[in-house]
Each structure stands twice: as C-alpha cells, then as structure tokens.
Structure 1
Amino acid sequence: MIKNYFVLLFIVLVSCNKTIKKEATKKNEKPNIVFIFTDDQTYTSIHALGNNEIITPNMDAMVKAGTTFTHAYNMGSWSGAVCAASRAMMNSGRFVWRANKFRKNWYKKDSVSLSKSWSKMMEAAGYDTYMTGKWHVDAPAPLVFQNTVHIRGGMPGDAWDHAKMKQKFDSISKIKGAKSADIMPNGYNRPLSENDKSWSPTDTTKGGFWEGGKHWSEVLKDDAIGFINQAKEKDNPFFMYLAFNAPHDPRQAPQEYQDMYSLDNISVPKSFLPEYPYRHNIANGDDLRDEALAPFPRTEYAVKVHTKEYYASITHVDAQIGKIIEALKKSGKMDNTYIIYTADHGLAMGRHGLIGKQSLFDHSMRPPMVIIGPDIPADKRSNADVYLQDVMATALDLSGAEKPTYVEFNSFLDIAKGERKESHYKSIYGAYLSVSRMIRKDGFKLMVYPEIDKILLFNMNEDPEEMNDLAGDSANKEKIKTMFDELLVLQKQMDDPLDISDIYKKFYKN
C-alpha cells in the first residue's frame, strides 16, 4: 500500500515537472508577429474610433482587443508616391531623408543593405518570414523574405499607372483648348454629374483589383491563410507581412459591399472646400494622379461618391482581415502571437478640397494603429505621438533582438504595455518634397510652404480639422518662433536638404 502510494506520488511529481517545464518553455518561446498593412487608410476610417458611417466589425474587434495609438504619423515623402517613401522608412528603419539615400543600395542583389532590412533582421532572430501583397520597395521581395507569393506593385493596372497618366497629360495639355476630361483615362475626373456613369467600382472589365479574376484583397487573404497553415506545422516563430493594396484607388469592391452604403447617409467633411487655395504651391496640381481622380473644382456630390467607394473598399478589406484572424485562432498559435495593424499613411477624401495624401494635414499623415498581444491591455487608447514606422523597432523588441544603431525609429511596446505614458519623441516632424514642412508639438501644428513663404499655425486640440489658421494673430508670435526654431533643429537632425531659415524673417516683414 505504502509502496503504491510512493509510485503514485512519483508519477504525479514527474507529470507536474513536465507541465512546469512545458509552461516555462512556452514562456521562453519567441512570439509570432503578424503585421497587417492597408494602403491609403486614414485614422478616421474605423467605426470604433468614432466614424459612425463606416462598417468595420473586425477592425472594431481589434480596437477592442488591443491598444490603439490615436496619434500615429507618417514622417513624409520625397516623392508623390508617398506609399513608397513610407515603406522604405519602415523596412530600413531610417528617417525619411536617410531612407531615401539608403533605398538606392537595395537595387544591388548581393548588397549588405538587404541584411539590414526589417525582414532579414527578423530572420536573423530566428523567425520564418512570409510576405504577400503590396511591396513597393526597391529591394526585390523574394530576396528579403523567405516565403513570398503574389507580390504587387504600387498600383494595379496600366490605366492607373502615374507615369503613363502624366505622359498623356503632358502631351494632350499642350493642345489648345484641351480639358482635363480629354486628358484623364477612364476612372479619373469623375463623376462630372449625377448622370456620369463612366465608371463602376464593380465592373471587372476595368481591371484594377479585378485583374487575374479574383479581387486582390481576397487573394491576399487566401495567401495569408496558406502561410498560417504552413507556419502552424513548424516550431519556429513566424513573422508575416500582409500588405493589402486596398483601399488605394481604384477603390473597387464587390457589389454586396457597395450596397452597404447610400450616398444619402454619407456626410461631406467639415473642412470640405471646392479648391484648396494653396494646392498649386504644395505640388497638388491638376497632373497629380491622386488629385486628378475627382473633377476641379470639387463638388459635394463627387466627394460623396468617392467616399462611398472608399468605405466599401475598407469594409471589404475588413472582412478579409476577419478571416485571417479567425485562421490564426484556429491554428492554436494565437496565445503567443502579436498583431500590429496600420496603414502607410492617411488620405484626404475631400478635406481641404484635396483627395490624396500629398499634404501634411493630419487626414493625410495619420493612419490607424493597433497592437494586440498576450500582455497588451485590451480596449485601451494612447494619445502618445508615434510614427507608424515605429512598427519595425517594436517587432524587433518583441523578438528579443537588439535594435541596431542605424534603426532610428523607436519601439512603442513600453507605451502599449502601460510602462510609459509619454512619447519617445519631443515633437513630430513632417516633410513633403520641397514644398512643405511641419512640426507638431504640445497640441499645436506649424506648417511651412516654402514656395510662397507661407506659415500656418493650428491649435489641434481645439481645431482638429485644421480649419482655423492662427498664424496671423500677433498673440502667437512667440509660439511660432519657438516652434519654427525647433523645426530648424529637426531639419538638421534629419539631414533635410531644404533650407527654410529665412522664411520666418520674411513672414514677419509681411
């Protein structure tokens, strides 16, 4: 009897020891990281974050399940293709102007630069890496990721190619009497009126996201689930880079998603203008592809039509994200997986009379940003300023890898976990080409338009839509000087090639 008792006790102790070891091993395992990336999605385009017009049940669920950064920013761009600059910064870890220099080395197949990219660093940390969707980075994706499929370019379809559109614009605009309607390919410069039926977002013959026979967002969802099914059979942690092309134009989605929205229920933005008065001074002319999508001057009807298509595209993406997350849950890996969701920048969609992302207004600089994970607080909001490109440093932080000195962006993991409240940045810097610079600090934003020596100041707490320029108020003279001086310091830190040092003096002379 006593002998049997000790045998039983031994079995129990061995079993407990195995369980403890198993749990310890689980705790020591590196977490899986799934990066979900949309294109052209502004921070105000999620129902749970205050937009009552849009339908986003799965994005809402992510907001509920994790920590949302309400003030995430894209640092800017050296190109009208803002998405390319955003992705170069994110994958290289370098601030905007140094990322522009660094990206050129990625053309070299055997370049050491490849080893310094985000995915290669994750691979070096022991991760299996997967990528599908929009890449738009100079380095070939198959050389950066171990597993790739359906790598997409900047835009779907030749008809939507900016270079070809601009070439057509340049050639036809020289003809006397030529109008924008003569210049733009199908899908641009519309709708001209309520009777304009020249474009349908569900017409598969238009190509775009329908090229290949299946909508690209659905293809990406299938790829992602395929990756998950591969990864769940392996012991290695995985890093997935899932980059949707949507809701970038052409904003196409199946009919059932279009039918979810009525123009009667879509509002016009508070900051709507028929035309932004300084658009030509900030390189938002008639030949800028994004701006050419809708007619000049803007009409409320045209903005509503484009917004309806935008919402439908986002809701369609939302459905695919839901299926990806469901596959993660079924894989048994979810308990040790972090999801980071964001977009490459925002989009104007009629605000300030603009349609695209080529400005430093918040609607164009700010995407949504959510992180979900085992130790990330649920249903939490942080208003700490972050850059969306901080995702790379955050993933490295999660992996246990040491951040290299050349990675200039910061992990926001400590903020997400509640270990830190304030931003890692004293202020937020923004730049677009040589036509605009920006600094945001302490609830104020200073914008500079160098081509016309124009300075604008906005109180972002009282005026989040950036409608009331306070720069002309003499009471703000000292604040403008302080912010301008700090912007000059940031320019030096960023290797910014543009000299704006004389603009402040000219501003006060006038």
Structure 2
Amino acid sequence: MSNNDRRPNILLFLPDQHRADFIGLNTALPLRTPNLDRLARRGTVFTNAICPSPLCAPSRASLAAGKDYPRCRVVNNDQDYPLDQPTFYQMLRTAGYHVVGVGKFDLHKKSKRHSLDGKAYLQAWGFSDGIDNRGKWDAVNSWDGAPHDPYMAFLHSRGLAELHVQDMQRRRDRSFTDPTPLPEEAYCDNWIAENGLRLLNGFPTDRPWFLQVNFAGPHDPTDVTDAMARRWQGTPFPPPHANDQLDTETHTRIRRNYAAMIENIDRHLGCYLDAIKARGELDRTLIVYSSDHGEMLGDHNLWGKSIYYQPSVGIPLVIAGPDVQAHRSFDDPVILHDLAATFLDYADLPIPPDMDSRSLRPLLTGMTTQHRRYVISGLITPRLGWHLIFDGRFKWIRETDGSGLLFDLENDPWEDHNLAAERPELAAEMDALLQTELNRPL
C-alpha cells in the first residue's frame, strides 16, 4: 500500500445463518470461538444487531445496496440483484480498492447462473476478483451428473461429487447428523476458506483491499467432518425453547454440529488474522464478523429462518481495527447494512443520499454514543408476510393479515407474551413509525 494511502484494508467474515447467541461470549452456551472472542476484546460488540430480512437473497442485497429491505429491490429468494442498482463494492473498487469475495454470495438467487470458475457476475457486482459458489442445497439440487458451480466442479474433479450428493440427500431428515464422508480439504467451508487465503496472499501491496468471505455454514444441514464432530462428543446443550418435535438427544446432536460448524469458521478466522499479520497489515485492517441472518434451531418448534423471532433476525456483529475502541459493548439497535456506509466511511468516500445505511464509524471510534432509535426488518413471501420495528428493547411486528405483535425483549427474551393488548399506546406509536418507514419511496 502506498505510504500516502492510509485507508484501511477491510475483511468481512459473513457466514450463512449464524444466530447471535451461538458465540463464545455467551457463557450460557458451551461455544468455543476463541478468535472471535479475541476480536471482541480488541474491538466493539453489537448486542442488538439484526438483519434487514431473515432470508439469504434480500439480506445480502440490502447489504450490497446499503438499503432497507423495502427498498433493496430483492423481496425474497426468487429474485436476482438488479444490476442497475449500485453496490458499495463498486464504489470501493472505483475508489482504488482491490475488491475480492469468495463463497456463497446469493446475489443471483433466481437465475443461479454460476460459471465453473465462479466469476460470472463478480465484475458486474463490483468485485475485482473472487470465486462465487452456490449454497449447500442449491449446489446439490443442481447436480445432474455434471457440475454447475465451482464447488461441485472441485468435488467432481476429485471423484467426490456423487458421494456428496448422496450424503446430502440423507440430510433432508434433519435428525441425520453423522459426519460427512468428505475429507477435510473437500468440506465446503474449508474449500471456501482456502480459496480466500490463496487470493489474499496474492493481493497487491500498493493499494488497500476489501475481502468478503461468505461461508456456506452454519446453514443447514448440520454436516460436519469427522474431526469436527469428535471435538463435541459428550458436550451437553440446553434444549430449544418450546419445542416438542424431537427427543433431547437428537436436539443435542443437532446443536453440537451447529456449534462445530461455527467453531470451524472461527478457526479459519484465526488463520486469516495470522495471514494478515504476516503481511504486516493487521494494524491497518478493519475486521468485521457478522451473518446474513440467524437460525431458529428448533425454538418455538421452528427451524431455519424467515420468521420475526430473535433467533431468526438476530445476528452477531463484532468489529475491530484501526481506531476502534477496545472492550466495548453497544446495546442500541444496529442493522447489517449499516456496514455499507461504515466501509465507505473508512474508505473516505461519501455515503450516497439514497442509502439507508448509517456509518458505525463514529460509534467505533468513540466520537458518539448515539446511532439509531430503531431498525426495521421484514419478509414477504407467498406463504407469509410481516415487517418489524425494533428499538433495542421493544419489538413491534405487523403481519400482512393486519395482526400485530408486541414483545418486550428485556423481560421476555423468548418472545412468548404478546403485549399488544396490554400496551396499545406503545403498539400504536411503533406501528406509526413502521408505517412511515414502509411508505418511503424507492
């Protein structure tokens, strides 16, 4: 990097479907994330971060555009990111950043046109280089005896594609938690991490870089390698909240595998930190760990995401780097796509006026303790529809059938008790704020 260019490098770790409470900082669960914990000690933890929509394509589109879900132009998983809508990736690249990404982007969820080298849409989205692969189920569902994305092409070249497809078919039953037959180096998250490290080690040194690593895990199914599984044998887990679907042992096995996937991603985080340190760039690299949405993991008898409960919409968010205050925790609400403005701010770029994203840099550097009064999230699909507004304590949900729910997360963290009838004035106030946001023009 030029001695005159003091803009930081940026590393964004963005695993898929990592719920907020499954991190080592939460002592109520036996998670092991030593590298994320180390990052937290060096920086700031956001305890009330949520996603703009608990579904892959709209959440990632909101991040790319820096816009709230109602304005990001990707409503659900049957739409592609509109190529006429600017991305913060493009802005960074135009400003001289070397912009690279690996893993599952999910910005063309409808067409799913992946080239075997993984580069089909990267230039159009704003990347200089990278490898875009399908998510777990999309990769397997596309298999017809030939690969249609770079990960399946890699497995096919090793004679492992059919074995992987057969194993994944068994995992349509979520109670199947046996280790994958794939060797360590062929496990998808390990392959993604290796791709990113290889590219990172070849980055130019005369300009700043941005690297986004999109892990396929810990998205379901809970496939883990034999080595990952062995590390969690015998570890107890609390059962999910309000679930009568599966027996305790099955729930425990599922949660062990989910934790193992997170621990594996954390191991890769440590490898990236070591690689950046070896380049002599750790002190000038902004490091961010988050996720596109959460995972219900059986709470309320629900699995996956798409719902308004906190395990689905809540995400981890930890940031460390240049001038970021250490050992800090911020409890006010923030939202995933605030990262778009944050990255532009650190790159000394103006934040476009049509972005909803707000930079976290003033919070991170201690210039302010205020950010937002509330954040909004939502999802509209053929089978459900809702929007929510969240102020860090109270959450108001308006469903498309007109019904409403009000939860006090401070006193009711599992969102069991709807306060709408007991607190009608608060419900009306929050609904009015939500409607104002929803009625803003595109």
- Do they fold alike, i.e. is TM over 0.5? yes
Find the aligned partners of 1:42 and 1:28 in 2 and give their Cα distance: 36
The structure richer in helix per residue is: 1
Which of 224, 230, 235 does residue 196 from structure 2 map onto? 224
Which residue is 1:194 aligned to?
none
Q: Residues 302 and 483 from structure 1, CA distance in 2 versus in 1: closer, same or farther, beyond 3 angstroms? A: same
The runs of 5 or more residues in structure 2 that have no matched partner are 109-119, 143-167
Structure with the greater relative contact order (CA < 8 A, sep ≥ 6): 1 or 2? 2
The counterpart of 1:237, out of the listed 178, 203, 208, is 208
Larger radius of gyration: 1
SS in 2 for 1:378: coil
2:222 to 241, 245, 251: 251
The aligned residue for residue 412 of structure 2 is 463
Q: For residue 44 of structure 1, give the secondary structure of its aligned residue in structure 2.
A: coil
Counterpart secondary structure, 2:283: helix
Q: CA offsets per residue over residues 25-60 of structure 1, 9 Å max, x none? A: 857522111111111001101112434311111111
Deviation at 1:339, TM superposition (A): 0.8
2-structure distance, mates of 1:351, 1:494: 36
Q: 2:377 aligns with which of 414, 430, 446?
A: 430
Q: Does 1:45 align with 2:45?
A: no
Structure 1 residue 94, shift from structure 2 partner: 2.1
Residue matched to 1:180: none
> Cα offset for 1:134?
0.9
TM-score (normalised: structure 2): 0.83
What do residues 141-178 of structure 1 show as CA deviations (whole Å, max 9, x unaligned)?
Answer: 243354434311233565457xxxxxxxxxxxxxxxxx
CA distance in 2, matches of 1:356, 1:226: 32
Residues in 2 aligned to 1:382 and 1:244: alpha-carbon distance in whole angstroms: 26
Q: Secondary structure at the match of 2:346?
A: helix
Residue correspondence of structure 1 range 374-453 to structure 2 within 5 A? 374-424=322-372, 426-433=373-380, 434-441=384-391, 443-451=393-401, 453=402
Partner of 2:124: 143
Change (3 A) 1:75 1:105: closer
Counterpart amino acid of residue 404 in structure 2? I
Contact 2:237 2:256 in 1 (8 A): yes
SS at match of 1:448: strand
Distance 1:264 1:376, change over 3 A: closer
Task: Please report how far the alpha carbon of residue 389 of structure 1 lies from its aligned counterpart in structure 2 after TM superposition.
Answer: 0.9
Query: In structure 1, what is the Cα distance between the partners aligned to 2:17 and 2:313?
Result: 10
Name 2:319's counterpart in structure 1. Answer: 371
* Deviation digits for residues 417-443 of structure 1 (CA, Å, limit 9, x no counterpart): 12111223x322221215222222362
Equivalence for 1:134: 104
Alpha carbons 2:93, 2:128 under 8 Å: kept: no
Cα contact 1:458–1:469 (8 A) shared by 2? yes
From the superposition, tell whether residues 60 and 101 of structure 1 become closer, same or farther in structure 2 (CA, over 3 Å): closer
CA distance in 2, matches of 1:401, 1:235: 19
Which 4+ runs in 1 deviate beyond 6 A? 102-105
**Change in 2 beyond 3 A, CA 1:353/1:441:** same
* Inter-partner Cα distance in structure 1 for 2:197 and 2:334: 30
Query: 1:127, 1:41 → 2: CA distance?
Result: 28
1:263–1:304 CA contact under 8 A, matched in 2: no
Alignment partner, residue 262 of structure 2: 314
Shift of residue 250 of structure 1? 2.4
Q: Give the CA deviation at 1:402.
A: 0.8
Distance verdict in 2 for CA 1:369–1:101, change over 3 Å: closer
Counterpart residue number, 1:203: 181
Q: Which residue is 1:282 aligned to? A: none
Q: Structure 1 residue 226: deviation in Å? A: 1.9
CA change 1:71–1:27 in 2 (3 A) is farther
Change (3 A) 1:203 1:442: closer
Residues 234 and 36 (structure 1), Cα distance of their counterparts in 2 relative to 1, 3 Å cut: same
CA–CA separation in structure 2 for the residues paired with 1:44 and 1:187: 24
Distance 1:272 1:160 in 2: 32
Query: Structure 1, unaligned stretches of length 5 or more?
Result: 1-21, 162-183, 192-197, 205-209, 275-296, 496-510
Alpha-carbon shift at residue 311 of structure 1 (Å): 0.5
- Percent identity, aligned pairs only, is 24
Q: What is the deviation of 1:333?
A: 1.1
Q: Does residue 1:493 correspond to 2:426, yes or no?
A: no
Deviation at 1:254, TM superposition (A): 2.1
Q: SS state of the match for residue 107, structure 2? A: coil
Q: Compute the TM-score of the two structures, normalised by the length of structure 1.
A: 0.73
Q: Which residue of 1 aligns with 2:135?
A: 154
Secondary structure of the residue that 2:438 maps to in structure 1? helix
Residues 490 and 145 of structure 1: CA distance in aligned 2, closer, same or farther (over 3 Å) = closer
1:338 maps to 286
Q: How many residues align?
A: 402
> What's the secondary structure of 1:86's corresponding residue?
helix
391-400 vs 238-247, which moves further: 238-247
Contact 2:80 2:107 in 1 (8 A): no
Is residue 384–residue 421 contact of structure 1 (8 Å, CA) maintained in 2? Answer: no
Q: Select 1:99's aligned residue among 72, 75, 81.
A: 72
Does the 8 Å contact 1:228/1:331 carry over to 2?
no
Provide the rounded CA distance (Å) in 2 between the counterparts of 1:442 and 1:350.
24
Distance 1:487 1:219, change over 3 A: same
Q: Indicate the SS of the match to 2:25.
A: helix
Contact 1:131 1:145 in 2 (8 A): no
Residue 307 of structure 1, CA deviation = 1.1
Counterpart secondary structure, 1:52: coil
